[in-house]
């Protein structure tokens, strides 16, 4: 850690300031300013020396103190000798940032030379930050935290857009969990070595995305920090299953209120099976879990074929130039065309050029398989590994989720809410802090240790018959593992179910006890997931009558900030196109803060445009306002799915009962 500034001493131990009093003037008439020297701990100096040379370590310290002095020289640099070891260079970059508190910026030249330069705001002036962006007057931290608002975009797409405009890697943008695409969402994110003005300046260029509420922090936001999510969901044109169509509106409203409120009360107290939702398994003909099954089975050719599956009819029309006008449908048609051109061998080069970039997996595969002509078209394993790491992990995790959903259905079908011998619970023994990693959805990846290591903390263990009958544990304590090499399986018929289910040919003929692969990235440690899920806090529900299907029932966060009149909402929903590439659909942040009173006033104006059920029950509503909307608000844990909760509320369990249909 950096120490307090001290005066530099001469060789005889006297002060170099020649006993000048504070505030005195130099002979040139300019006010004297004490130079600032910071001593670096010896252990940090040794780290720099071990990774480079003693001379480079001294040059770094000198450069840092020059920048802190009264006349900083921003043009000064420190240059290392050529460093051939890439891993050492990476460590050097990290330690330089840590030791010098991100005031030294390091880059690597083509010859392996590391060049360091000083970066800091000047007193009373605006400096130039990284990438030539204007600096802020306030002290800059290593990470800039901000609130990300997005509409009809998923989190990775939003991060990619921001990173592309900032000319940086998407991995430098941190977030605690991913949000659904088909929603208006807000979440906290972080980005490294950026300034507020640079990020705020992107709002006019981003499509369906806006940023705000900036704050400098020393630590990033990363996966696993998410405690939970709050959802506000509107269900329109709601009807009871036994409606006859002849009931008066007031009776329909009363009946629906009673049923929905009782269902929410039951879910709050009893919970529901914590299934993985539909979005986990993709929307294409071939589910993501099916691709993951092929990868885990080592059949990379079949995995590539599954990812490049196409519709011959759509591809033929696209080849003939018959493309839809709607951009999203046009991209879909071009995807089918590109996959057809490659799979049939008609035109490999054109296939790589035609594929829209938003189909990331297909783009990576086609670029790799066509980069060297026909000589590379059989490198299927290489094509899979060229898919971005996040996507590759998604396929494998989808297969794990597929197995978990079936195991959960089997467990509940056999025992319901009864706790039985062999059920797994998270161990209470914590002789040392448990460190849990998280996947892209925020699920904990907990690595249990072997039972014979009595002095080590276990992460999950099976219950004995006495413990199961003791009443100490409930169904809400039970966890089930997703397949992996570092998880324990239930010591009962559910443990045997994993082996039988995964061993089926249609499920990959895989062994749950053998989840290590030659390629480390395809080896799955596994993790535990609660069998049952419940709301965090009490849910709320509101009923509204409407006649216009475009009417918006609840304001988004941007609506609250900007005000309903400014956005032209006035009770009508702004026309929204599912097309993610529509250049005319952009959300611009105004960069202005509003008080809570102003935001509450905007919400009140928005709510006033919707008819309240309570105001309508005394008199029959007009025919044009006869449709019923239900606005639900509830909170869920980070790894829970709102879609699953909604299906439970509506009594639709068919998908969860047969998870294989979730693709």
- pLDDT tens readout for residues 581-631: 443 333 333 333 444 444 455 445 444 444 444 444 445 555 556 788 999
Q: Mean pLDDT of all residues in the chain?
A: 76
Are the CB atoms for 144 and 180 separated by under 8 Å?
no
The more confidently predicted of residues 245 and 253 is 253
What pLDDT is stored for residue 110 in this prediction?
A: 62
Of 170-174, 206-210, 221-225, 640-644, give the lowest mean pLDDT range.
221-225
Other C-beta atoms closer than 10 Å to the C-beta of 46 total: 12
Per-residue model confidence as pLDDT tens digits over 7-64 = 333 333 333 333 333 333 344 444 444 445 677 888 888 889 888 898 999 888 888 8
C-alpha dihedral sign at 471, 476, 477, 480: positive
C-alpha dist (Å) from residue 566 to 411, 586, 587, 606:
53, 15, 13, 12
Structure tokens given for 565: 């009149």
Confidence category of residue 108, pLDDT binned at 50, 70, 90: confident
User: Which alpha helices (DSSP H) does 271-388 contain, by range?
Assistant: 288-296, 300-307, 312-319, 327-343, 348-354, 360-369, 380-385
User: Which of 556, 150, 587 minimizes the C-alpha distance to 564?
Assistant: 556
Per-residue model confidence as pLDDT tens digits over 486-508 = 999 999 999 999 999 999 999 99
- pTM for the whole structure: 0.65
Q: How many residues does the chain have?
A: 663
What pLDDT is stored for residue 315 in this prediction?
A: 94
pLDDT greater than 60 at residue 432: no
Q: Phi then psi for 197, rounded to 5 degrees? A: -65, -40
pLDDT greater than 90 at residue 464: yes
Are the CB atoms for 404 and 439 separated by under 8 Å?
no
Residue with tokens 């696209």: 318
pLDDT greater than 50 at residue 150: yes
The whole-angstrom separation of Cα 260 and Cα 630 is 9
Partnered with residue 212 across adjacent β-strands are 147
The more confidently predicted of residues 658 and 194 is 194
Domain 143-226 class, CATH top level? alpha beta
Confidence category of residue 129, pLDDT binned at 50, 70, 90: very low
Other C-beta atoms closer than 10 Å to the C-beta of 411 total: 22
| Cα-to-chain-centroid distance, residue 18 | 58
Q: Phi then psi for 144, rounded to 5 degrees? A: -100, 115
What pLDDT is stored for residue 532 in this prediction?
A: 95
Other C-beta atoms closer than 10 Å to the C-beta of 349 total: 12
How many helices (H) and strands (E) the chain has is answered by 21, 20
Burial of 18: CB neighbours in 10 Å, binned 0-12, 13-18, 19+? exposed
CATH topology for 393-428+437-448+458-531? Pseudouridine synthase (3.30.2350)
Residues in CB range of 29: below 8 A, 6 or more apart: none
DSSP assignment letter at 190: E
Q: Rg for the chain (alpha carbons), in Å?
A: 30
Residues in CB range of 473: below 8 A, 6 or more apart: 419, 423, 425, 463, 467
User: Which alpha helices (DSSP H) does 455-548 contain, by range?
Assistant: 465-469, 493-503
The whole-angstrom separation of Cα 596 and Cα 256 is 33
Of 75-84, 294-303, 509-518, 635-644, give the lowest mean pLDDT range.
75-84
Per-residue model confidence as pLDDT tens digits over 180-209 = 777 888 999 999 888 888 898 898 888 888
């Amino acid at each position: 850690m950096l120490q307090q500034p001290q005066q530099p001493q001469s060789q005889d131990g006297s002060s170099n300031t020649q006993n000048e009093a504070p505030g005195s003037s130099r002979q040139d008439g300019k006010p004297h300013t004490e130079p600032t020297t910071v001593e670096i701990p010896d252990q940090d100096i040794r780290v720099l020396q071990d990774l480079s040379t003693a001379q480079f370590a001294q040059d770094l310290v000198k450069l840092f103190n020059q920048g802190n002095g009264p006349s900083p020289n921003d043009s000064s640099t420190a240059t290392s000798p050529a460093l051939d070891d890439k891993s050492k260079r990476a460590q050097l970059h990290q330690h330089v940032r840590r030791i010098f508190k991100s005031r030294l910026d390091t880059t690597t030249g083509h010859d392996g030379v590391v060049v360091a330069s000083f970066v800091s705001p000047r007193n009373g002036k605006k400096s130039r930050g990284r990438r030539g962006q204007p600096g802020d007057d306030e002290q800059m931290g290593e990470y800039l935290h901000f609130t990300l608002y997005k509409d009809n975009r998923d989190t990775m797409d939003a991060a990619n857009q921001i990173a592309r405009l900032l000319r940086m890697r998407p991995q430098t943008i941190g977030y605690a969990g991913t949000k659904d695409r088909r929603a208006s969402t807000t979440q906290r994110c972080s980005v490294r070595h950026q300034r507020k003005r640079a990020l705020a300046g992107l709002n006019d260029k981003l499509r369906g995305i806006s940023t705000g509420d900036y704050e400098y922090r020393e630590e990033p936001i990363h996966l696993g920090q998410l405690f939970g999510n709050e959802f506000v969901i509107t269900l329109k044109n709601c009807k009871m299953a036994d409606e006859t169509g002849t009931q008066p509106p007031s009776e329909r409203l009363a009946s629906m209120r009673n049923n929905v409120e009782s269902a929410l009360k039951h879910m709050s107290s009893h919970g529901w099976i914590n299934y993985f939702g539909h979005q986990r398994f993709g929307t294409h003909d071939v589910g993501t879990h099916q691709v993951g099954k092929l990868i885990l089975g080592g059949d990379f050719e079949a995995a590539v074929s599954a990812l490049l599956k196409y519709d011959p009819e759509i591809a033929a029309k696209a080849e003939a130039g018959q493309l839809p006008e709607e951009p999203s449908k046009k991209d879909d048609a071009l995807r089918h065309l590109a996959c057809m051109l490659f799979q049939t061998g008609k035109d490999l080069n054109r296939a790589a050029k035609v594929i829209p970039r938003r189909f990331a997996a297909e783009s990576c595969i086609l670029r790799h398989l066509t980069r060297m002509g026909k000589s590379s078209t059989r490198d299927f394993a290489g094509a899979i590994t060229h898919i971005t790491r996040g996507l590759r992990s998604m396929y494998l995790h989808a297969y794990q989720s597929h197995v978990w959903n079936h195991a959960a259905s089997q467990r509940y079908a056999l025992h319901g809410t009864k706790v039985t011998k062999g059920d797994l619970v998270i161990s209470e023994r914590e002789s040392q802090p448990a460190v849990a990693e998280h996947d892209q959805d925020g699920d904990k990846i907990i690595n249990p240790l072997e039972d014979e290591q009595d002095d080590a903390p276990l992460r999950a263990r099976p219950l004995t018959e006495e413990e199961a009958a003791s009443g100490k544990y409930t169904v809400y304590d039970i966890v089930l593992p997703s397949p992996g090499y570092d998880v324990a399986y239930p010591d009962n018929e559910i443990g045997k179910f994993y082996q039988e289910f995964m061993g089926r040919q249609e499920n990959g003929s895989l062994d749950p006890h053998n989840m290590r692969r030659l390629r480390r990235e395809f080896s799955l440690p596994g993790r535990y997931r609660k069998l049952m899920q419940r709301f965090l806090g009490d849910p709320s529900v509101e009923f509204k009558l409407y006649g216009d299907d475009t009417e918006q029932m609840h304001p988004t966060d941007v609506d609250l900030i900007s005000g309903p009149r400014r956005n032209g909402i006035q009770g009508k929903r702004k026309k929204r196109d599912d097309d993610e590439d529509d250049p005319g659909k952009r959300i611009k942040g105004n960069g202005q803060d509003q008080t809570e009173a102003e935001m509450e006033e905007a919400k009140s104006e928005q709510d006033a445009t919707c008819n309240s059920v309570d105001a309508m029950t005394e008199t029959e509503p007009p025919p044009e306002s006869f449709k019923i909307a239900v606005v639900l608000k509830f909170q869920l844990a980070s790894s829970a799915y709102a879609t699953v909760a909604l299906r439970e509320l509506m009594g639709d369990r068919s998908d969860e009962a047969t998870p294989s249909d979730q693709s």
